[in-house]
Structure 1
Amino acid sequence: MRRIQPELTDELLKHFGDPSKVGASDPFPVETFRELVEHTAKLAFKNKDHLIFYRGQSRDYKNKAGSSSFYPSIYRGDYLPIRELTNRFDILEGASKALVDLFDSKKIEGYKELKRRKAVQWSVLQHYEVCHTPYLDFTHSLRVACSFATMDNAEDFAYVFVFGLPYLTNRITINSEHDLINIRLLSICPPTALRPYFQEGYLAGTDDITTSYDTKTELDFNNRLLAKFKIPNNKSFWGKGFDQIPIKSLYPDKDPIFELCQQIKYIADKELRTGDLGEFLKSWAELEEKLITLARKQTDRFLSVREANRMLLENGYLDKEQSLQIDRLRTFRNTLVHTPKKVTTGQILDFLYTLDEILKTVKK
């Protein structure tokens, strides 16, 4: 996506300094919702070439360079091998097919368009948090963003981010100049999907980019960041005349599309677990063979992986950190095999990354 530089008010410019370094700066503190409304109104006026959108978060997530980062979930992770990215898109494809089949079988209003348009399928899967997608959630409502930022947040502060995106021309707007797709959920989701209506939800992503891209940073929505604010997580922030939107309004009960998507989420989670579990065990077997082969050059007796690890540490083939990592991997492998229900998909991905790094350093 094309990077933009915000036009800042004098007050915000004094705080952030360089407009191109907003993401790397501390967020601008505000005390009340009314104050935040005034700041964002001035931002919208100064940035007339862009339509203003918001995201509310409990934290200011940063990349290794220390700048705020906003990747769609399918691209998240400091280390994202092509194998993992391909696996995520395979799961997205499977979830999309399951969604189409369910909409078709139940003849849910709008199923014909959903069947034809991948962007509609991905939008439903993203908004109902079924699996990773190339889209990121935004809202046109500052009140919704603040409500999300403070919801289930035990910290003293929350964060609201302001973005500039191209103006909308259709329900699904594709801007080739900025390489962005912007989707108005109210217009493409069936009327029975309640969440988008209460959340005033939009989705945005990079158009026609999946597993192939020049640099990963072109997929980060910090390229469109105009400003970021820190708000107090307490009732005094809202003041008179404003209130936080209740969680039951943002996530309404008896949403039939949510119930349907939960069925697909179960399938997607299961497929992700199975694929990564097999990949981990395959890579572990490779590491196990390397360790035992190295250890047998020093002794004729049969060694377990644990014994081989200890011997290679004592003889200088491994350093202390490598040995500790291998021991953690061995413990995790045993948990994975004997009590797999205790293991989460996130743990598998984390240990798979560690395992890949160890394999690069251990040579036969």
Structure 2
Amino acid sequence: MTVLAETSHPLPLEPVQLLDEHGDPADGQVLPPAAQRLQMYRRLVVGRRFDRQAAALTRQGRLAVYPSSNGQEACQVGAVLAVRDTDWLFPTYRESVALVTRGIDPVEVLTLLRGDWHCGYDPYHHRTAPQCTPLATQALHAVGLAHAARLAGDDVVALAFVGDGATSEGDCHEALNFAAVYRAPVVFFVQNNQYAISVPLAKQTAASSLAHKAIGYGMPGRRVDGNDVLAVYRVVRDAVEHARAGQGPTLVEAVTYRMDAHTNADDASRYRTSAEVDAWRKRDPITRLERHLRAVGVLDDAGVAEIAAEAEDFAARLRERMNTDPVLDPMEMFRHVYAEPTPQLREQAALLAAELAAEAEAPVGGVEARA
């Protein structure tokens, strides 16, 4: 079992890397088995095709909003594969690829962004908390669950996804501080995609890196190349084992880039240049791993085509299912609010029920006239 050594010394600024931008292995690094590397490639390709399809569904009006994971797939795939099925994930709104990698139905993954019903999936069944829109609140939830699991003697680690912008929130500070003091089994996985909407990292912190902040909380901090899925997997796996061994939390900073705008409602050209985007495009996580797998003879043209076809089929099935409008029950908004509905809630429900009944009984012509 790998246990990370705690240190009070400054951390290295250079991120951990197993594959360079050309797909060549770093010196002295032991890579995961070939079959596992190929499986990671498959997950990356399917994840990106899902992301592109979700973005297209947004343009078609099938989703209300979509925060793309394009360019960050290695972070999400590598991190999710590094935890056990019995561990808990605490995602942000941008972790759609992570949830698909977790095995959650893609339609259920998009339910929150579609505006349908609650979070769409069963958090307890998948051990995955609802996608969190408020910044950093999920970090507190992760710490609470992990601390409770530790007190109960449960062998559970919580993986909290956090954006670089969320590290500026008070909730993030409270989560990190509490986790460190009580040695909660949590891994804080910060995807540093360089921007908090339009605010660059340099205007968010004066620290040498986000990983350096771990020193102030008294926990290990790691930096990893977020576009190297093998490195992400290795670093997060080590941090998870560290937590499971009772050694407390770790702050992992994955250095990556958000290729698309913050959401479909954002215009990224207002705050970053096309030259910057093009420079990061050359560090593409899928291209990097594909070059490596081809070089070692694990992948060829036929294999690439087969996985691409699998991803296309995945997207086609998602598209077909999303083109069917969900059947909604307006009265459902009153359920599960309180264990025992309040008088005000009952009154509101009765008013809506009466309106729905009146509309159902109205003549079709009358309804059209009012419209």
**TM (normalized to structure 2)?**
0.26
Rg bigger for which structure?
A: 1
**TM (normalized to structure 1)?**
0.27
